[in-house]
Copies of this chain bind each other. A is one copy, B any other.
Amino acid sequence: MTVVTFWSRRPAAKVGSGYNDPVNSALERPSPRTVLASSTLLGSLAPEQIDALLEHSRLAQAGRGEVIWMDGSEASYLGIVGTGFVKMVRSSAGGQELTAEIMGPGQSFGLLGAIEGTGCPLSARAVSAVWYLRVPKTDFLALYGGNLPLRDHLIRRTTLRLRGAIDMMSRMASGRVEHRIAAVLIQLAESYGVEEADGAMRLEVPLSRQDLAELAGTTVETTIRITSRWTKQGVLKAQYRSLTIQNLGRLLEILGD
């Protein structure tokens, strides 16, 4: 699971529709079938069901920072990430943004909105350049109606998300920003950490300090202060839009106080 939950205090970053031209993106376009097969939710369907879904599904792309859909709006499809990363954002009154989850390859987004008729409660925004598959709601619902295992999978998934949200909140319970950032980093490491040669954990999500701040519910400045301090202490290697955890144990200590 990838429930990395919290809020932010800053006005929304400007929408990047095209400011990082996706056409020239270095990422290769995956095939729709590959994306669907890699999906944790739909990857294990029967071949004929996959074919049925693929018929109306279309691959799409988004550049870094680009909005895939706004919250409240009635998206007619759900998305499955092929390559890159998408963040699910809740913008509240006052222009603040709350990043609720970060979805990586193989993960699907927009499910809540798809199952109920209602619009998705979260906006989707690309963290990096993204290729994703648009699966029409109607096709998905047709499949979902008569598919008990899929239903059960979904119940489990939703309860896990709820549990994760509660869990994260409790870890965020301390008002200390330092704790919250530590909690976010640990969560990210669990989901997207890749072991380096020297034993460090690199996060394969290209997060800026601003992104991290939105996840931890604080400001860029404070986030920078803390990550810089940790870098000096050898806990973290904070580079340009990139984070590597060098001392996970220390982060856990900080959490426990």
Q: Measuring CB to CB, which residues of chain A are less than 8 angstroms from any residue of chain B?
A: 5-9, 90-94, 96, 98, 100, 112, 115-116, 121-122, 151, 154-156, 158-159, 161-163, 165-167, 169-175, 217, 255-257
Contacts and interface: CB of A to CB of B under 8 A. Distances in A.
Nearest to A112: B159
Contacts of A171: 92
A252 to B, nearest CB: 11
27 contacts: A5-B169, A7-B170, A7-B172, A7-B173, A8-B173, A90-B166, A90-B169, A90-B170, A91-B170, A92-B170, A92-B171, A92-B174, A94-B173, A94-B174, A94-B257, A96-B174, A98-B170, A100-B169, A115-B155, A115-B159, A116-B156, A121-B163, A121-B167, A158-B158, A161-B162, A165-B165, A175-B217
Copies in the complex: 2
A158 B112 CA distance: 10
A98 B162 contact: no
A169 B98 CA distance: 8
